[in-house]
Structure 1
Amino acid sequence: MSAMNDLLAFQRQTEALSSIAERLGWDQETVMPRGAAEQRAEEMGAIESVLHERRTDPRIGEWLEAATPRTEAESRAIELIARDFNRANRVPARLATELARLTSLSQGIWAEARANEDAEEFLPTLDQVLMLKREEAAALAEGGDLYDALLDDYEPGMTGAEIASLFDAMRPRLVTLREDILGAGVQPQELTGHFPQETQLRLARTCATAFGYDWSRGRMDVAVHPFSSGRWQDSRITTRVVEPDPFNCLYSTIHEVGHSSYELGIDPDYAFTPLGRGVSMGVHESQSRIYENQMARGRAFTGWLFNRMSDAFDGLNITDADAFYATVNRVTPGFIRTEADEVQYNLHIMMRFDLERDLIAGRLDTRDLVEAWNSRFQKDFGVAVDRPANGVLQDVHWAIGLFGYFPTYALGNVYAGCLNAAMREDTPDLDDTLAQGDAAPGVEWLRENIHRHGGLLPPRQLVEEATEDDISPEPLLDYLEDKFSTIYKL
């Protein structure tokens, strides 16, 4: 058993160092002084160099060959360690270090360019990131598809061709539903008023508590692009505040609580092992989306939220809970993915998926990216992009090298559709408690069927065992058509 014990002990330290690196990323996005960007880039490069050296340590190969697992969890840990070991050994240490350094630096350059509404300020750096990601993809793919090699980091076992086929199946029903909604005679009222930042943040904390966020193991901060960070005993969330639009803050918060609750709900025995994190970004996104949409944007919870907001903001221009529910779920043409309604959100992802596949394949040059983005957005959404912050600069993902990440957002919606159907069948009282501002039955169902398993099961198996059915986009599309047909009286 010595080899197994030595392997797990070594992995424990690697996981701890990886967690430290993640904490540095959280700090950079929240409280780090703006002038520290170059120093942080060097720090991130240094720790990635150490991590890469550990992940490629020859002893791992020896331990893997000699280790004898005693449990299902140890067998799965060996599988995941071997996968990471093989992938890490394909990427030169120089490349791993430079990617960490450049993407840390690029993040600040993107933020400045976004604030200045100047895409040209950012594109040269993006081009450098893209060149390194292509090099990494070539090393990982070993002659295979470059994009698939990057996608596998976020959704193991999934391919670009499978994603494309899924999107092709979803697009017609989504486009038809959107056109029916935008042409409907009934259109919900827009929320207007003055919504001070501190009041929004107080209410956001109340919403996070309603969804079971463990404040003893978390905290909430403000960031340009909302995210969650951390695992085990420390998983933090961020949100953003747009004073004219409190829904941005409240639903970003609930979304990130979904991510964080997944990490905090994993079996504590898996801490500091490869099982002690969400199994894929698609599964991760399914948790944030089911919290935000199927639970928090439903009629039951919005009824509770209507009363809280009416009290917090000294009255609203929306006068009853039914109208408020419709307002929360308004479908309108808009530029920003994170603010998109449920009907159009996946269309944003489909556009980014096509663009980034072309970037990685070399079919699209960064010099032509702004024009390609704006042209595709006009075609897909019927609206001309008015400024870079509403266009190619709105997302941080490419700046920090997350090519292959975007499609997992839509895949997460598909998983959420499947999980929601099963969860509703098993928890018939869920809407009763949501109407009281308590999401506990849904949270507990997800913790039992998804969260606690961490990385124990592969993504597809995890969702299919939870739902006792095959993964399909049909539950999501049926849910959307039913919900929005009712709201818009189609």
Structure 2
Amino acid sequence: MTAYDDLMAHERQTRALGQIAGRLAWDQETVMPDGAAPQRAEESEALEHVLHARRTDPRVGNWLDEIDETALDEVGRANLRHIRRRFERTSRVPVKLAGEIARVTSSAQRVWAEARAASDFTAFAPVLAKVVALKRDEAAALADGGDTYDALLDDYEPGATGAELQAMFDALRPRLVALRDRVMGAAHQPAPLKGTFDEKAQMKLARALARSFGYDMRHGRLDKAVHPFSSGSGLDVRITTRTNPDDPFNCTYSTIHETGHACYEQNIDPDYLLTPLGEGVSMGVHESQSRLYENQIGRSRAFTGWLFDRYRAAFGDLSAPDAEAFWGAANRVHPGFIRTESDEIQYNLHIMLRFDLERRMIAGDLAMDDLEEAWNSRFAADFGVEVDNPANGVLQDVHWSVGLFGYFPTYALGNVYAGCLMQALARATPDLEARLVRGEVASVTAWLAANVQRPGGLHEPKDLIERACGTPPSEAPLLDYLDAKFAEVYRL
């Protein structure tokens, strides 16, 4: 065997073990008994030690040195790019630190869930302080003298920097705030959907919607979790959602969102299975799929007209008297606390809040004792509403408990990418609206499968979006889309 063959055989086994680690995390969030948490933390730590040892195996460095990249094709060169990047990064992190992060975040996740249920930040703060301290140590090791937050961000959006994202947010904020103010002051205000909605019926509809978007249940499943997420790649891709008897949109759009993630993973070229190219190339690109599925398609006038009939079949008569009122309810702008329930206009403002706070935490400029107050003050300033309890504020997201610092800004970047992709999709699909009216979503998302999803990690994130759209990524298409859509919804 050549050095490249040896390297890829080693990589395949490492990625198989990584999938097992992901399955442990899925189990923990869905069906694991509460009392198993201490043991699961040790199991996660043990597996992370094995993975870290394989990822930093000196043979990987030797193989990389031996391989003649000029003799490889595009796929081979892309595999090397990913393996080298991870090898260099992982080698900077001591194995003891990697294991400790796995152990602490595994137990912290359960502490967070209990604290959120009790709306008690003081119960979570000590373990979050441990997570932040460990992630700061990891960031310092990865940064090697550079920016510590950028070092963490690179795990989720390779090549992006905090400064670039800050510039993007600075460009987004003025038009988003101006549009929100116009919408909030509009004479026409869509009514919310009211009533009590059977949770079993919500889940039945959720499964049907996931299939309609192209999710292959032969290689996946849909379960319930405190915080919806997608897990896995290749032949085993699982999603979760949640239900609320007073708000069926929560279940519907959480499901469509996670289906976007899952379809991305399921549609990657099967030849890339268990290789570096066999997963989504970045979280920004991942979020572009889930946000586009959820919003530009799932909340469009055409699709909600089709969904309106499915809702009536599932729940009976609705407070929305017709499809137009239902479309308004699905796109209603309101000053809510919860990011995952936010409207499209204000969603990025939620992300900017988290982005700023976590950068300060990693930099050491925000102490844990001050985090809740910093959150509440910023929320009041950005949204004009006082946070009523921690579950609706600093405790609402799972991300920090599991150490995902640098993840949040990729949601907003995904929205920007989605704006660009939707523009290209509309150009490529002249009968887009007619298809959505009929609920033919899988045929529409086939364009995304071909142009974004199938390549997996073959291209760098920005390059992939530019190839699909024909132009470099820009926030302008997203802002233009939001202005046009909400002018219609609110009759501005």
TM-score category, normalised to shorter length = over 0.9
The match for 2:336 is 334
Shift of 1:142: 0.6
Shift of 1:268: 0.5
C-alpha distance in 2 between matches for 1:457 and 1:108: 36
The match for 2:39 is 39
The match for 1:174 is 176
Shift of 1:430: 1.8
C-alpha distance in 2 between matches for 1:396 and 1:17: 24
Choose 303-312 or 281-290, whichever is displaced more. 303-312
2:112, 2:401 within 8 Å by CA — same for their partners in 1?
Answer: yes
Per-residue CA deviation, residues 192-213 of structure 1 (Å, 9 max, x unaligned), is: 1110110000111111111011
Output the amino acid matched with 1:49: H
3-state SS of paired residue (1:455): coil
Given the alignment of the two structures, is residue 19 of structure 1 paired with residue 19 of structure 2, yes or no?
yes
RMSD, aligned CA? 0.7
2:300 aligned to 292, 298, 301, which one?
298
Task: Show the 5 A alignment for 1:331-370.
Answer: 331-370=333-372
Per-residue CA deviation, residues 43-79 of structure 1 (Å, 9 max, x unaligned), is: 0000000000000000001100112353211111011
The match for 2:57 is 57
The match for 2:416 is 414
Choose 110-119 or 438-447, whichever is displaced more. 438-447
Output the amino acid matched with 1:259: H
The match for 2:461 is 459
2:73 aligned to 55, 71, 74, which one?
71
After TM superposition, the score normalised by the length of structure 2 is 0.99
3-state SS of paired residue (1:230): strand
3-state SS of paired residue (1:18): helix
3-state SS of paired residue (1:359): helix
Shift of 1:17: 0.2
Shift of 1:440: 2.3
Output the amino acid matched with 2:9: A
The match for 1:398 is 400
The match for 1:5 is 5
Give the % identical residues.
62
1:430, 1:439 within 8 Å by CA — same for their partners in 2?
Answer: no
Q: Which runs of 5+ in 2 are unaligned?
A: none
3-state SS of paired residue (2:320): coil
The match for 2:161 is 159
C-alpha distance in 2 between matches for 1:206 and 1:434: 15
Query: Which runs of 4 or more aligned residues in structure 1 lie more than 6 Å from their structure 2 counterparts after TM superposition?
Result: none
Output the amino acid matched with 1:292: E
Task: Show the 5 A alignment for 1:436-475.
Answer: 436-475=438-477
After TM superposition, the score normalised by the length of structure 1 is 0.99
Output the amino acid matched with 1:8: M
Task: Show the 5 A alignment for 1:7-156.
Answer: 7-69=7-69, 70-156=72-158
C-alpha distance in 2 between matches for 1:19 and 1:429: 39
3-state SS of paired residue (2:87): helix
C-alpha distance in 1 between matches for 2:32 and 2:168: 40
Per-residue CA deviation, residues 219-245 of structure 1 (Å, 9 max, x unaligned), is: 000000000001100101100001100
3-state SS of paired residue (2:105): helix
Choose 225-234 or 60-69, whichever is displaced more. 60-69
Q: Which runs of 5+ in 1 are unaligned?
A: none
The match for 2:230 is 228
Per-residue CA deviation, residues 405-450 of structure 1 (Å, 9 max, x unaligned), is: 0000000000000000000000111221211122123211001101
3-state SS of paired residue (2:415): helix
The match for 2:431 is 429
1:330, 1:341 within 8 Å by CA — same for their partners in 2?
Answer: yes
C-alpha distance in 2 between matches for 1:218 and 1:59: 35
C-alpha distance in 2 between matches for 1:480 and 1:72: 38
Given the alignment of the two structures, is residue 197 of structure 1 paired with residue 210 of structure 2, yes or no?
no
Per-residue CA deviation, residues 119-155 of structure 1 (Å, 9 max, x unaligned), is: 0000000000000000000000011111000001000
Per-residue CA deviation, residues 55-112 of structure 1 (Å, 9 max, x unaligned), is: 0000001100112353211111011101100001100000000000000000000001
